[in-house]
Amino acid sequence: MAQLVKTAESGRMATITRHDKTVAYVLGEEQLTGLLETMEILADPKAMKAIRDAEAGIGRDKVVRVEELPD
């Protein structure tokens, strides 16, 4: 068990198997936090629209005053 934790802490995902079948994964805190943040962004329609717009170059030359930014 200690080796699984060390593997996860090093930034790698540890795989737990039973009878040659994967039954669980162990993630480090940093990996899990990143994964949860990504899921949060993917679930937010406004954030996804902003990402799609940025990728498409929409609003690229638009200037926004700091006071106009949403909270």
- The 10s digit of each residue's pLDDT in 19-36 is 999 999 999 999 999 999
* pLDDT over threshold 80, residue 5: yes
pLDDT score for 66: 84
Give the Cα separation of 64 and 70 in Å (integer).
Answer: 11
Radius of gyration (C-alpha) of the chain in whole angstroms: 19
Residue 41 in tokens: 């962004």
Percent of the chain with pLDDT over 90: 63
pLDDT score for 12: 92
* pLDDT over threshold 90, residue 68: no
Quick: pLDDT tens for 35-44. 999 999 999 9
